[in-house]
């Protein structure tokens, strides 16, 4: 509570740009679920996009050894040289794309990567195209930085992805400065084809726009591999992270691949924002590339969860969902039950003991009739969630 003091001006207020940032609803759902658990209740967590598996043992062992060795200090602002080189090698080995290590920037997760790339590329007030539905932090980071997110509704006619036509239409209405895509996508799980990515990249080049590709869920696809935008455009800005495939969310370490002309710009920003990414996390990140066997075993668990849910959800009346090509999400239409996804999710949590995320987190225009389920937990948890949701829906 603010106390007014006679004779003094009113206390300063929070900045408007900060107040314009919406809450990340999934985190609010998690808080509500944990409150129920503290009271002794039981909750199946399907709200947060976070692997439930532990970080692979070999990654943890590498960090533990570094800690045992002694001094943990600052690193170069752009990241430890050996890690940058290992990330560059990853692009050659995985995608057949040559990336100079000098164009790799180690960041504090993908979140740090977005902040650095947005600041490096866009002037205040610039307009950046994103999808609706899409990851809500894009919108909120852009707003906080004084930029304008342009949410373009996408649907089944484009497989829930941006197209050159949609980009050109938005640019004609009022000029854009950049385009941001995500594949595999959150919340939809949709993977863009190589042709779709190449078409978006070509349109961005034609219009003179920055193209930013969020590839944080690469490695987590089930029918076909994901394609890096670098294969279509060496000038694309790539945002990635060790969080999802490598089960390292809490380590907060990711990376950018940027054009050479942005390297020094981003280095100066990183020097002043954080000096460097935590050294232990960088050591762990480098070790992650040698933990593929463990990571693939975890991914096999997601694949089993996916197969189960694609069959079981329609059997309880939740069969209207988008393609689940990658990541670990199912994005459902709940219109037959409710046009208020906030109330639907609150009811599911309180009366079914299942935490899921309202679609309004991802699509402010159409998300009132959608929800997102994360299947990053165990198969037993997925089975329990379906059983609870089935009983609850039947009783509604």
Report the pLDDT averaged over residues 232-261: 97
CA distance 212 to 152: 16
State yes or no: pLDDT of 2 exceeds 80. Answer: no
What does the mean pLDDT of the chain come to?
Answer: 95
State yes or no: pLDDT of 12 exceeds 90. Answer: no
State yes or no: pLDDT of 249 exceeds 80. Answer: yes
State yes or no: pLDDT of 1 exceeds 70. Answer: no
Residues 242, 253 contacting (CB under 8 angstroms): yes
The pLDDT value recorded for residue 4 is 61
Confidence of residue 3 (pLDDT cuts 50, 70, 90): low
Report the pLDDT averaged over residues 60-78: 94
Report DSSP state, residue 108: S
* Own/partner long-range contacts of 389-395 (Cβ < 8 Å, ≥24 apart): 389/316, 389/318, 389/348, 389/352, 389/354, 390/315, 390/316, 391/352, 392/347, 392/348, 392/351, 392/352, 392/354, 393/316, 393/317, 393/318, 393/337, 394/316
State yes or no: pLDDT of 177 exceeds 80. Answer: yes
Residues 288, 240 contacting (CB under 8 angstroms): no
Please name which of 301, 300, 287, 299 lies closest in space to residue 251, comparing C-alpha atoms: 287
Tokens standing for residue 386: 């379906």
Q: Could you tell me which residues come within 8 angstroms of residue 207 by beta carbon, excluding any fewer than 6 positions away?
A: 167, 168, 171, 176
Torsions phi, psi for 207 (to 5 deg): -90, -5
Report the pLDDT averaged over residues 243-261: 97
Please name which of 112, 194, 117 lies closest in space to residue 161, comparing C-alpha atoms: 194
- Of all residues in the chain, what percent carry a pLDDT higher than 90? 88
CA distance 377 to 306: 11
Report DSSP state, residue 177: S
Burial letters 158-190, b for 16+ CB under 10 A, else e? bbbbbbbebbeebbeeeebbbbbbbbbbbbbbb
Report the pLDDT averaged over residues 78-88: 98
- Of all residues in the chain, what percent carry a pLDDT higher than 70? 99
pLDDT digits (tens, 9 = 90+) for 269-290: 999 999 999 999 999 999 999 9
- Return the axis-axis angle of helices 279-288 and 57-69, rounded to nearest 10°: 140
pLDDT digits (tens, 9 = 90+) for 16-61: 888 877 877 888 888 999 999 999 999 999 998 889 999 999 999 9
The pLDDT value recorded for residue 21 is 79
Confidence of residue 67 (pLDDT cuts 50, 70, 90): very high
State yes or no: pLDDT of 72 exceeds 70. Answer: yes
Residues 27, 45 contacting (CB under 8 angstroms): no
The pLDDT value recorded for residue 253 is 98
Report the pLDDT averaged over residues 105-124: 98
CA distance 349 to 32: 8
pLDDT digits (tens, 9 = 90+) for 303-347: 999 999 999 999 999 999 878 999 999 999 999 999 999 999 999
In sequence order, what DSSP letters do the residues of 13-34 get, joined into one string? PPPHHHHTSPP-HHHHHHHHHH
State yes or no: pLDDT of 377 exceeds 60. Answer: yes
């Amino acid at each position: 509570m603010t106390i007014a003091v006679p004779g003094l001006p009113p206390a300063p207020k929070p900045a408007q740009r900060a107040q314009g940032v919406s809450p990340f609803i999934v985190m609010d759902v998690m808080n509500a679920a944990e409150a129920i658990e503290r009271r002794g209740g039981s909750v199946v967590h399907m709200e947060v996009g976070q692997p439930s598996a532990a970080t692979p043992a070999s990654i943890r062992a590498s960090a533990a050894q570094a800690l045992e060795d002694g001094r943990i200090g600052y690193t170069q602002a752009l990241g430890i040289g050996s890690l940058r080189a290992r990330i560059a090698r990853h692009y050659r080995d995985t995608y057949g794309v040559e990336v100079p290590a000098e164009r790799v920037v180690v960041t504090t997760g993908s979140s740090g990567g977005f902040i650095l790339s947005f600041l490096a590329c866009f002037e205040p007030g610039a307009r950046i195209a994103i999808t609706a539905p899409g990851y809500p932090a894009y919108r909120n980071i852009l707003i906080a930085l004084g930029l304008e997110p342009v949410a373009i509704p996408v649907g089944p006619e484009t497989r829930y992805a941006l197209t050159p036509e949609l980009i050109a239409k938005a640019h004609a209405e009022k000029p854009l400065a950049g385009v941001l895509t995500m594949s595999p996508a959150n919340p939809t799980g949709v993977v863009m084809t190589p042709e779709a990515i190449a078409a978006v990249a070509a349109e961005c080049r034609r219009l003179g726009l920055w193209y930013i590709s969020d590839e944080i869920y690469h490695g987590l696809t089930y029918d076909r591999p994901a394609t890096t935008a670098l294969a279509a455009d060496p000038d694309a800005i790539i945002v990635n992270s060790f969080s999802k495939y490598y089960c390292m969310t809490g380590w907060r370490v990711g990376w950018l691949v940027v054009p050479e002309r942005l390297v020094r710009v981003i280095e100066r920003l990183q020097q002043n924002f954080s000096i460097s990414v935590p050294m232990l996390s960088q050591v762990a990140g480098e070790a992650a590339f040698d933990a593929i066997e463990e990571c693939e075993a975890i991914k096999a668990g997601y694949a089993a969860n996916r197969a189960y849910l694609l069959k079981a959800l329609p059997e309880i009346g939740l069969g209207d969902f988008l393609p689940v090509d990658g990541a670990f999400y199912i994005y459902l239409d709940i219109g037959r039950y409710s046009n208020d996804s906030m109330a639907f999710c609150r009811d599911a949590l309180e009366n079914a003991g299942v935490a899921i995320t309202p679609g309004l987190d991802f699509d402010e225009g159409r998300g009132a009739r959608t929800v997102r389920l994360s299947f990053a937990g165990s198969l037993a948890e997925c089975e329990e969630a379906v059983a609870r949701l089935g009983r609850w829906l039947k009783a509604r």
